[in-house]
């Protein structure tokens, strides 16, 4: 039964474009899941497994360097970032997140650069970045802190963490 009313195609088109853009963004967000093998491990054993993984994959001589797409900065994946992650990761999802250290650093959005307020010897500035990924079906914000040395033209990842912000749609 027709009522004589027509549907304006422009709002439908805009809705479709917005839906497609959202779906595309969601599709581009990296995702990792705990494996069957991982699920059998205690939290401590899981952390040890991924510490070995991170050390073998990212701590090399010469160091692994990724180019951040947002700033075009070469960022070294340092021993310090692995050490800080190891000390501060207490949840299984945070432990698993280290698998994406290079991917998250490369695609991270630059937030800001500030002076090193701790006056750490040799450090000129501290920059903050963020990215997103799915871990076990939950959306996480990845926080990355990068320090720049004063004398060397060297930037290195210092801190890496994952904070749950939602569930996958």
pLDDT tens-digit series, residues 75-121? 999 899 999 999 999 999 999 999 999 999 999 999 999 998 888 88
Structural domain of residue 72, as residue ranges? 32-167
β-strands 123-135, 31-32: how paired?
parallel
- Locate 37 and state its tokens: 């093998």
Alpha-helical (H) ranges within 61-158 are 79-88, 92-97, 101-107
**Per-residue pLDDT at 9:** 54
38 falls within a domain = yes
23 falls within a domain = no
12 falls within a domain = no
9 falls within a domain = no
Domain count, the chain: 1
Inter-residue contact 136 to 34 (CB < 8 Å): yes
1 falls within a domain = no
For 123-145, what is the mean pLDDT? 96
15 falls within a domain = no
pLDDT-derived band at 23, boundaries 50, 70, 90: very low
88 falls within a domain = yes
For 45-74, what is the mean pLDDT? 94
pTM of the model: 0.81
64 falls within a domain = yes
Contacts with 72 (C-beta within 8 Å, 6 or more apart), sequence order: none
């Amino acid at each position: 039964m027709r009522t004589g009313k027509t549907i304006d195609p422009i709002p439908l088109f805009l809705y479709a474009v917005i839906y497609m853009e959202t779906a595309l963004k969601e599709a581009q967000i990296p995702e990792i899941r705990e494996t069957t093998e991982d699920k059998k491990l205690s939290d401590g054993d899981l952390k040890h497994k991924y510490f070995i993984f991170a050390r073998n994959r990212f701590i090399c001589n010469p160091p692994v360097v990724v180019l951040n797409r947002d700033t075009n900065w070469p960022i070294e994946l340092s021993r310090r970032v692995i050490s800080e992650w190891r000390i501060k990761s207490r949840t299984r999802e945070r432990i698993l997140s280290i698998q994406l250290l290079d991917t998250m650093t490369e695609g991270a959005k630059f937030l800001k650069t500030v002076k090193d307020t701790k006056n750490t010897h040799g450090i000129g500035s501290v920059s903050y970045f963020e990215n997103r990924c799915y871990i076990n079906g939950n959306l996480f914000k990845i926080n990355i802190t990068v320090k720049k040395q004063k004398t060397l033209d060297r930037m290195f990842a210092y801190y890496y963490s994952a904070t749950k912000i939602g569930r996958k749609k």
